[in-house]
Amino acid sequence: MKRSRLFALAFAATMLAGGSAPALADLKLCNLTPSRVGVALGYADQQGWASEGWWNIAANACETLLKGPLIARWYYIYAVDYDHGGSWGGPAKMCTRDKLFTIRGHNSCQERGYNETGFFEVDTGENLDWTIKLEGAKTTAGTGQPTQ
């Protein structure tokens, strides 16, 4: 009886220490600039296209944008430099607004009362976990690196 309890305790301790626990998977963005930034995210899920914002990310800090394994290969980012002006964007048009938002669909933004904003594309390569690094010159695409 004592032996089976010891085995159970050892097994539980191994699981808590990360022996066979599932790895965490998220979409993260690291702001590697000296400025505070606001970030909007676009993606397609089972219900179609969506855009969400704003995450406020401090200088030289990271934030999780989506928790859990990634469900898409392509994600879209638009970021604004709060401290020095400018933005990071690209040719993919999605809907945004100035206040917190979740918007379904990416067509007819202005007709629906939203801003039409250019996002840059991030290819996660179908990884389940990805970190986007926002750095360098504004109005250029950010870089993404899988996290292991």
76-89 pLDDT, tens digit per residue, is 999 999 999 999 99
Cα(13)–Cα(91) distance, integer angstroms? 50
Mean pLDDT across the chain? 82
- Yes or no: is domain 25-145 CATH 2.60.40? yes
Q: What is the pLDDT of residues 8-35, one digit of tens each?
A: 333 333 333 444 444 568 999 999 999 9
What is the torsional sign of CA 109, 110, 114, 120? positive
Chain-centre distance for alpha carbon 61: 13
* Average pLDDT, integer, range 66-71: 92
User: Looking at the predicted structure, is the pLDDT value of residue 40 above 50?
Assistant: yes
Output the pTM of the full model: 0.77
